[in-house]
Chain A
């Protein structure tokens, strides 16, 4: 079965550079979520989109922006990167947010290293 696809899987950037992460949800899933997971930490919710509109927002820095496109894939843009942005970034998808089962289907994550 098709799963959530994230790219790139690994990314190395210098401080103050920009990075873009992509997420392709499971077919027919209309909701995408972004999480940031630091080493040994729990996933922190950044932002979610339902039907291409922002549906909820968490602790996403102002330097970060995201959007969901007409084909339901999503991109997370991170600018002015800082050392503290080094983390595993997870994307998850679901069908109609939490109105069905609430289950999130996760990708394998994109590991960002900022040097």
Chain B
């Protein structure tokens, strides 16, 4: 069975600075997707960034980028130039390619301070 582990329950960062959220996962599959989802307070979850396991190049979406280390089963999220609107719960997630179940980590609550 796949598992996703986020070891940082809470983090804070000053506005405009950079923060990295950690995630490790365990799977015996070779083809899968990894995701970071953002859940703002009292709001629905939305996708931040997605990585396909077969791609060696790290995904980037504007201020958000990942460091994907397949051999180490590590998938960290870097947020650059943090903004107050980045304050949210961030979930690392895993899905097998062609699968019908996404597994979430425990989440990291990020506070961006003015």
Contact = CB atoms under 8 A, between A and B. Distances in A.
B44 A108 contact: yes
Interface in A29-53: 31, 33, 41-43, 45, 48, 50
A109 interface: yes
Interface in A85-115: 90, 92, 97-99, 101-104, 106-109
Given A42-B106, A108-B43, A48 B33 contact: no
- Interface of chain A, main secondary structure: loop
A103 B35 contact: yes
Contacts of A3: 44
A105 B96 CA distance: 17
Given A42-B107, A43-B91, A106-B45, A101 B50 contact: yes
Interface of A: 3-4, 31, 33, 41-43, 45, 48, 50, 55-56, 58, 90, 92, 97-99, 101-104, 106-109
Interface of B: 33, 35, 37, 43-47, 50, 91, 95-107
